[in-house]
Amino acid sequence: MFANKVAVVTGGAKGIGKAIAEEFRKAESRVCIIDLLPNDYFVGDLADQTVLENFASKVISDHGRVDYLINNALPLMKGIDTCSYQEFNYALRVGVAAPFYLSKLFMPYFSPQAAIVNISSSRDRMSQPQTESYTAAKGGIAALTHALAVSLAGRVRVNSISPGWIDTEYTDYQGPDALQQPAGRVGNPMDIANMVLYLCSEKAGFITGENICIDGGMTRQMIYHNDFGWTLRAAESGSHPVSSSVELQQQSKLEKGDAHANG
């Protein structure tokens, strides 16, 4: 199905992007990576317009077309207390402007049945303190997805994935970190890579403009103080009095731990 297809993966040198690139390679696709980290295709900063243009030119010169564009590169995460104007704009250039511009640059070269998959985050709908640059970028790419799906209707299918807590080291979490998630475990990059390849396949031919949240059910779980083993432990007094942590008390096992959302 994917043999000899051309798959472009941004941020493909590590983590989720690396898993996506490896799965395409296993399926005998020709994979074109761009990343700040060393890789076998193109090293460059996605925030730089010239870099994007040079990268797109290389892909088209090498292959003549694009079958799949996976916008995965990780934006900067800084919060309102420390994030400068320049840093906030940098996060948006990497997380939103680059996916838009690569889609535009490749538009004349997308093959029939081409697909774009944007990697957003469950943070497009929920937040932790001090994550504004990353959260804004992930919310932006989720909205960009349905806009592109409408603009490219009949030519390219465009979908996005919102990962929740994905541990790129494939750590086997036990206790509260796992138990707080309805799926009973923390996610790993293959949970995302498998969905990327599905969305690029003909099996997903009737899916476009959609966002799929892969977070083990975390965003669907309602939490109330003292219900079903959850208690709210107020933060200690300090500069952020509104901050708090949710402590999971697994009543049957008497295990405790902090709930995380690392999407």
Give which of 92, 73, 72 is closest to 132, Cα–Cα.
92
The span from the CA of 205 to the CA of 222, in Å, is 33
pLDDT above 80 for 261: no
The 3-state DSSP class for residue 99 equals helix
pLDDT above 60 for 39: yes
DSSP letter string, 116-140? EEEE--GGGT---SS-HHHHHHHHH
The span from the CA of 176 to the CA of 132, in Å, is 27
Which contiguous run of DSSP H or E holds residue 229? none
232 pLDDT tier (thresholds 50, 70, 90): confident
Residues 20-24 have a mean pLDDT of 98
Give which of 29, 28, 45 is closest to 37, Cα–Cα.
45
* C-alpha distances out from residue 238 to 160, 243, 244, 257, Å: 38, 9, 11, 22
Q: What is the mean pLDDT of the chain?
A: 90
pLDDT above 50 for 51: yes
pLDDT above 80 for 256: no
How do residues 131-187 score in pLDDT, each as one tens digit?
Answer: 999 999 999 999 999 999 999 999 999 999 999 999 999 999 999 999 999 999 999
Catalytic residue among 41, 68, 90, 134: 134
Residue type, 53: E
Give which of 90, 164, 78 is closest to 121, Cα–Cα.
164
Percentage of residues in the chain with pLDDT exceeding 70?
89
Provide the whole-model pTM. Answer: 0.89
How do residues 55-69 score in pLDDT, each as one tens digit?
Answer: 999 999 999 999 999
How do residues 90-107 score in pLDDT, each as one tens digit?
Answer: 999 999 999 999 999 999
Angle at which helices 98-106 and 132-151 pack, to 10 degrees?
20
CATH class in words for 6-220: alpha beta
User: DSSP alpha helices (H): ranges in the chain?
Assistant: 15-26, 49-63, 85-92, 98-106, 132-151, 176-179, 189-200
Residue 109 catalytic?
no
pLDDT above 60 for 257: no
- Could you tell me if 218 and 186 are in contact, meaning their C-beta atoms sit under 8 angstroms apart? no
- Could you tell me if 146 and 207 are in contact, meaning their C-beta atoms sit under 8 angstroms apart? no
Map out the domains of the chain as residue ranges. Answer: 6-220
